[in-house]
Amino acid sequence: MDIHNTIEDRVLNVVHEIFDSIEKAGRPDKPCTCYQCRLDTACYVLNRLPPRYVISSRGVARSESETLEKQQEDADIVSLVYEGLNKIAKSMRPHFSHTPGDKTSPSIIKGPVYNIPTIIGRVFNGINFEPISNIDVMLLEDGSLATMIDPNWQNPYRLIPNTAGTFTFWPKPQKAYKVGEQKNFNFAIVIKAEGFESLQHFFSISVVSEELVQTSYSMQRTYKIPDLYVFPPGNDEDE
């Protein structure tokens, strides 16, 4: 058994119970109850609760036996779910259809597949070496905008001040014929920002096909790009 946070299960159960009851009530002014809004609400709650990790069946049994503490935690979870769903309803993600009653994750291809790792890099101003913000970074695959694993991962990626010039991409897994095949995927990071020379950074990632699609983010499945620098017109790295 892997390390498991039992609070995640309880939060997701409460989220689905509350959202399901909202759907059944059928009020015209009800908040969105789609899959993405449920996940966003669950994340809101989990970021405000301490985790409870177990690694064995004994740990699970002990967690379930702590009745009084569990009742208080459940009350806190319910309160946070209502707080979260109200906040999420006021700022729903723009890249989702928010289909009413949708409680399933976006469809994805079946294995065997090439699970392309997440791609992470940073962009700096080449003159003062400060992180760049308020510009778009694009990931191209074979010359076209690369498709992401789901709408939570945008392409182009908009750099904002609090991410310190860091961009992230997670390309969608691609179909393979069998497990164990190796294939190179050709990518390019493209940055076109007002006041700076255009930048293109080409690279390839070698991937071995697997039986199952990987849908959980992991730092062990990350491709790190060297720091990139953009320069105003008339300046370059050699000056």
For 11, phi then psi, to 5°, come to -65, -45
Q: Per DSSP, what are the bridge partners of residue 206?
A: 184
Round to whole Å and give the CA distance between 217 and 170: 9
User: Could you give the CA distance from residue 35 to residue 232 in angstroms, rounded to a whole number?
Assistant: 43
Which DSSP string do the residues of 85-97 spell out, in sequence order? HHHHHHS--TTS-
Which residue in 162, 105, 104, 90 sits closest to 131, CA to CA?
A: 162
Q: What is the pLDDT of residue 69?
A: 61
Question: Can you say how many angstroms the Cα of residue 121 is from the centroid of all Cα atoms in its chain?
Answer: 16
Q: What is the pLDDT of residue 190?
A: 96
Predicted confidence pLDDT, tens digits, the chain (239 residues): 567 788 888 888 899 889 888 888 877 778 888 888 888 899 999 999 888 877 654 444 455 545 556 667 778 889 989 888 888 877 766 655 556 555 455 556 777 999 999 999 999 999 999 998 889 999 999 889 999 988 778 899 988 888 888 999 999 999 999 999 999 999 999 998 888 999 999 999 999 999 988 877 777 788 999 999 999 887 654 44
Strands 222-224 and 118-125: what pairing? parallel
pLDDT of residue 96: 58
**Hey, what domains does the chain have and what are their CATH numbers?**
4-90 (no CATH), 113-230 (2.60.40.10)
pLDDT at 105: 54
Upstream peptide bond of 156 is cis (omega within 30 degrees of 0): yes
E-strand ranges in the chain read: 4-5, 53-54, 113-114, 118-125, 136-141, 144-145, 157-158, 166-169, 174-175, 182-191, 199-208, 222-224, 228-230
- What confidence score (pLDDT) does residue 92 get? 66
Q: What is the pLDDT of residue 61?
A: 47
